[in-house]
Amino acid sequence: MSIVEIQLGKKGLTDNFILELKKRFEKPKVENIKISVLKSGRKNREDVKRYADHLSYVLGNNYTYRIVGFTIFLKKWRKPKNNKTNV
């Protein structure tokens, strides 16, 4: 299992960013992605929360997230999860 790191910058959540996330999760042994939200991509912690909620909605029930500081950790599960993890 490997952790892939991606940075989210001033353009925010674009269609290309989301497609790149989906491609990365399709690779074998990729179950976790660490998204660092750069200063140019946020004004406060609420922006990070909004990004995480939107990614969770777009990706579906097989994905959960956890927020630590200004970093979003996405996890892909084999089976759909009912609750979204948020710290």
Whether residue 49 is contained in a domain is answered as yes
CB atoms within 10 A of CB 53: 13
- SS3 sequence of 41-54: HCCCHHHHHHHHHH
The confidence score (pLDDT) of residue 86 equals 55
Give residue for tokens 């892909």.
Answer: 76
Q: Let me know if residue 50 belongs to a domain.
A: yes
82 in any annotated domain: no
Range of the domain at 68: 2-76
Specify the number of domains making up the chain.
1
The confidence band for 2, taking pLDDT boundaries of 50, 70 and 90, is confident
What CATH number should be reported for the domain holding residue 26? 3.30.110.60
Q: What number is the average pLDDT over the span 7-33?
A: 91
User: Does 67 reside within a domain?
Assistant: yes
Q: For 36-51, b where at least 16 C-beta lie within 10 A, e where not — what string?
A: ebeeebbeeeeebeeb
Q: Is the pLDDT of residue 44 over 80?
A: yes
Mean predicted confidence (pLDDT) in 39-57: 94
